[in-house]
Structure 1
Amino acid sequence: MSYEFPVDYSKVREFARAVKSDHAAHQGAEPVIPPTMLTSARMIWEPKDQSGFVALGFDMSRILHGEEEYVFHGPLPRSGQVLTCETKIINRYEKPGKRGGQMRFATMVTEFRDESGSLVAEQNSTIVETARPPKAEEEQA
């Protein structure tokens, strides 16, 4: 299943300010996105029922962000474009945790395509579910 990510001028500028980028490419009438803005696309625009996180069935209280990689297949997307996004789970595996229990890992790839259907970018994410939730601060003291 896919969803649309409208690359909005004001959101590009807002994201650039949030990551403290004053690069000229993120300004002007048709700013290009800061590369890591693709994460916001998945977190904000992806319908919950299509979320790779939901499909994994991981306990969100035990999730760690393992790795993130962005691959661009041409110029960065710019405001005014509408990208079509689709997330796929491409790998799942388990490893023993250092503090006991099994840790579960998953690799998800989100493809971003332009209006013509051309692949513009890919976001590769490694998600980790720890064996148990972190201890509360008072328990750690």
Structure 2
Amino acid sequence: MDLDKSMIGIASEPYSAVVEQEHVAQFAQAIGDDNPVYVNEAYAKTTAYKGTTVPPTFLVALGSNAKFPLKLDFKRMLHGEQEFIYHHPVRIGDKLDCTMTVTDVYDRVGKSGTMQFLVLDTNMTTADGALVAVSRNTIIYRQAQKEAK
């Protein structure tokens, strides 16, 4: 499958993710970030966050539950870029309703030929619909390999 602009707007089934203390602590340990704002509520209340929050890149761990309707060839995919746009701090115990959507498709010519780019935004909202954060993932989709004869 090649990518084209008609894919913009295609979305995953909505799914929910609960931000659990143990998961946040494990994530922080895995990335080597021992900031107490992620695990120590008493300390975190004295900060600008006014409570425990998650490491900035934690949202990537919440995107793996998406059931996405596009059938992409994983062998052609490279991770291009990841961006996190926060509107509110994400808190331990938050239940986030998530939907992943194709927001852009474009081509760029590089040394090895034309590459396609797929931009996926995962919007994360509260139960009342308030946007908490967007996890934006840009995937580089390489050209299909020609079969040898």
- Give the alignment's TM-score, normalised by structure 1: 0.79
- Give CA-to-partner distance per residue, 1:24-56, whole Å, 9 cap, x none: 11112573111211111112x32xxx22xx52x
- Equivalent residue, structure 1, for 2:87: 73
Tell me the CA shift for residue 105 of structure 1. Answer: 1.1
On the 8 A contact 1:92/1:105 being kept in 2, the answer is yes
In structure 1, C-alpha distance between the alignment counterparts of 2:22 and 2:52, rounded to whole Å: 9
**Gap runs ≥5 in structure 1:** 134-141
**Higher normalized helix content (fraction of residues):** 1
Report the count of equivalent residues: 124
Q: Is residue 2:95 matched to residue 1:95?
A: no
User: Which runs of structure 2 are paired with 1:98-117 in the superposition (5 Å)?
Assistant: 98-100=111-113, 102-117=114-129
Compute the displacement of 1:112 (Å).
0.5
Equivalent of 1:63, from 55, 77, 80? 77
1:94–1:103: 8 Å Cα contact kept in structure 2?
A: yes
| 1:77-111 CA-partner distances (Å, limit 9, x unpaired) | 111111000111011123344224x3221111110
5 Å-filtered alignment, 1:1-141, equals 1-29=13-41, 31-43=52-64, 45-46=65-66, 50-51=67-68, 55=70, 57-74=71-88, 76-100=89-113, 102-132=114-144
TM-score, normalised by the number of residues in structure 2 = 0.75
User: RMSD of the TM alignment (CA)?
Assistant: 1.8
Q: CA deviation at 1:132?
A: 4.7
Q: Percent identity?
A: 29
